[in-house]
Amino acid sequence: MVYKCKGCGGNVVYSPKVGRMVCESCGTEDNEEILKTEDAFKCPSCGSSIEVGEYDSSCKCEACGAPIILDPRIEYPYGPDLALPFMVDKYDAIEALRAYAKDKLFIPGNFINAHMEDKLEGIYVPFWLYDFDTDVHYNAIGVKIRTWTSGDTEYTETSKYAVARELEIDYSGYPADASIKMPDDMMDLVEPYDYGRMGKFDSRLLSGFSAERYNFDPNQLEPRVKARMAKDTDAWINSTISGYNHMEGVQKHVNDQRKATNFALLPVWDYKYHYKGKEYHFYLNGQSGKIVGKSPVSPSRVVGLTATLFATLAIFIQGLEQLLEML
Amino acid sequence: MAKFRKFIIIMLIIGAVFWGISIALRGVSVGTVSDRNNDVYTDESRILFIEADADEVRSINPEYQLRDVSTLLSATEKEELQTYIEKCEAKIGCDIFLIIGNSPYFTKTNDNDFDKQATWIENWVKENKPGWDQPDGNVVVYFDNWSAYSGDSHCYLYPFGKYADKLPAHERESIIDSVNEDVNDDPAGAYKRMARKVTLKMIGMGMIGAYWPIGISIAIALIIAIIFMIVQLCVNAGKVTVDKATYVKGGKAKVKLSHDTFISKHTTSRHIERSSGGGGGGGGGHGGSGGSH
Ligand SMILES: [Zn+2]
Ligand SMILES: [Zn+2]
């Protein structure tokens, strides 16, 4: 389907800036109607067939540029429970990338260029959000060692304590991206999202952005979330234990009970940057603007800046020497 | 990038200020200095070579090899150094002599052998009566005796006249050390530094008098630059901005039980071996200071 302007018939897209549906042609807000075709994979605007990947649920018609939403991929069983709207628009994203590049010494000069607009894709990435009740039973022997010297003798006192802890941790909304094309480590880094701004899924949010249905079901991703959670659980246990040099005979029982899973769409800007025949992806949190990505390195910059720094330091240090010698 | 540029500019400005001040300081003199007043020692040459007689040396020990000290300084270097010393002398009103020798007679076999060099200088001054203000007046003698055969060269710095007090033992030693730092690689530069340092001490500067060879500056700069760049190259994809509390309701874990129960305590003791430091020191109350390179 496509959202069309009731006034002028133009394409209507979701605007992160105003938080409403805006007609791309006349700028009228919240004045849209749905245009549908029998075949969801035919553009309702121009009739050409939509070529999409297996998981895409929202895209642009390649023929006429209409913002297409593929109904079968946002309906049962793929209907998202929740969605967090984009709050950073394309121009904010470009500004954020500009600021980001300023801090990176070796990033190639054309990282910021005139074609960034075309290389930025706003994607609603499918995430599973897990709620877990975690019970922890922890028992260990805590060892305290104290040493002191008196005269020519060094004393070492070793004290042992039975350490027992029971914790209850309510994990809520623990995310794991359910998209094959988004790298897991990058999606983990782009967190966190403020779920306070998240609402029930509304298909209008997708208009003008890319989106995917989930590529994995919650059971497939559970081990990933549990592994991350286990680290957090250890950190919680450690935060309750202090004053010991080390622990012995640790017995730890962790019981994670999955309470709920929600399918949510979270906003990510994907900036594709080509450098020396390779494609680099930078991901922006569509809510906070946080940027993650492995920067390419410009060898000429590395050499040039290292030489500049070296020469400057040499002049400075030798100048200091000259001065100190004189004073 | 902007920060980097700022850093480079600031460092260059400060560096330039350092260079500027140090060059300006070289021009400072000790108030008004009257013309040289000595009609006994009138020779203008301040770089003297005292070379041993090869046959005589070999008659003592046929294995003795004499170092050819005449080639230590090239003709231009000698000329430059002479001019530089003359400038220094005019600033402080004091003769500065650089005596370069190769006699095995002075080669150090024990600490007291510095006395031979000191005595030689004392006699030379007494006999020739150099001095800026008067014969046998303000003189500084730097006598560097290059290895005759043992590989152990020694040098001696001896001030006479009213400036003698301005060069106490530790100052003399620091000058000798700074000369010996690179006298083997760059004798001309090292001797020039000697004249500069003597002059600065007499003017009243040279309080810090730190010196390190240019190679050290370059090495430090290179190491810092490389480390900085490696750190920059290791920048990761992004910082982790979630912690253990991010996905926990209320941001806190509920602690249902927390007991720390004492079980046992035991104490062990160990005897410590204490090492005592050895004594040392000593030193003579002489008018000059010696060193080796
Ligand atoms: Zn319109
Ligand atoms: Zn179309």
On whether ipTM exceeds 0.85, the answer is yes
**What was the pLDDT predicted at B235?**
79
pLDDT greater than 80 at residue A119: yes
| CA separation for the pair A143, B97 (Å, rounded) | 72
Return the percentage of chain B with pLDDT > 90, whole number: 42
Task: With a cut of 70, say whether residue A208 has pLDDT above it.
Answer: yes
Provide mean pLDDT across the span A57-68: 95
Least confident window among A193-207, B143-157, B240-254, B275-289: B275-289
Higher pLDDT, A138 or B25: A138
Note the pLDDT of residue B282.
32
| DSSP secondary structure, A2-17, as one string | EEEETTT--BEEEETT
Confidence class of residue B286 from pLDDT cuts 50, 70 and 90?
Answer: very low
- Which residues in chain A touch residue B11, judged by CB atoms under 8 angstroms apart? 312-313, 315-316
pLDDT tier at B284, thresholds 50, 70, 90: very low
Q: Do B247 and A320 touch (CB under 8 A)?
A: no
What's B29-204's CATH class?
A: alpha beta
pLDDT at position B145, please?
86
Mean pLDDT of chain B: 84
Q: What is the pLDDT of residues A229-270, one digit of tens each?
A: 999 999 999 999 999 999 999 999 999 999 999 999 999 999
Tokens 């920060």 correspond to B3
Q: What is the pLDDT of residue B218?
A: 93
Q: Decide if pLDDT at B53 tops 90.
A: no
d(CA B50, CA B53): 10
Residue from the list B225, B237, B270 with its beta carbon closest to the beta carbon of A292? B237
A173: left (phi over 0), alpha (psi -120 to 50) or beta: left
3-state SS assignment for residue B162: helix
Tell me the β-bridge partners of B50.
Answer: B101
What's at A175, amino acid-wise? P
What pLDDT does B283 receive? Answer: 32
The listed range with the strongest mean pLDDT (A160-164, B115-119, B196-200) is: A160-164
Q: Which residues of B touch A156 (CB under 8 A)?
A: 267-270
> Measuring CA to CA, which residue among B248, B246, B244 is closest to residue A170?
B248
A27: pLDDT strictly greater than 80: yes
pLDDT band at B288 (very low <50, low <70, confident <90, very high): low
Asked if A171 contacts A131 with a C-beta cutoff of 8 angstroms, the reply is: yes
Q: What stretches of chain B adopt beta strand conformation (E)?
A: 47-50, 95-101, 139-145, 154-160, 254-271, 289-292
**Which pLDDT does position B2 carry in this prediction?**
78
Which of residues 207 through 236 in chain A touch B, CB cutoff 8 A? 229, 231-232, 235-236
Establish, for the pair of chains A and B, how many residue pairs have beta carbons separated by less than 8 Å.
Answer: 235
The DSSP 8-state label assigned to residue B165 in this structure reads G
Give the pLDDT score at B171: 85
Per-residue pLDDT at A23: 96
CB atoms within 10 A of CB A21: 20
pLDDT of B287 = 55
For the segment A269-281, the average pLDDT, to the nearest whole number, is: 95
| Residue A247 at interface with chain B, using a CB cutoff of 8 Å | no
Task: Say if residues A175 and A228 touch (Cβ distance below 8 Å).
Answer: no
B212 CA to centre of own chain: 7
Mean pLDDT (chain A) is 95
pLDDT at B207: 67
Taking only the tens place, the pLDDT of each residue in B67-111 is 888 888 999 999 999 999 999 998 888 999 999 988 777 765 555
- Which of B18, B221, B243 is opposite residue A322, by nearest beta carbon? B18
Predicted pLDDT of residue B69: 86
Q: Which residues 125-144 in chain A show a CB within 8 A of chain B?
A: 141-142
- H-helix or E-strand containing A88? none
What A321-324 contacts at long range (C-beta under 8 Å, 24+ apart), as own/partner pairs, is A321/B210, A321/B211, A321/B212, A321/B214, A321/B217, A322/B18, A322/B19, A322/B22, A322/B23, A323/B18, A323/B19, A323/B21, A323/B22, A324/B208, A324/B209, A324/B210, A324/B211
Question: What does the pLDDT read at residue B112?
Answer: 59
Instruction: Assess contact for A247 and A143: CB atoms under 8 A.
Output: yes
Q: Is the pLDDT of residue B149 over 80?
A: no
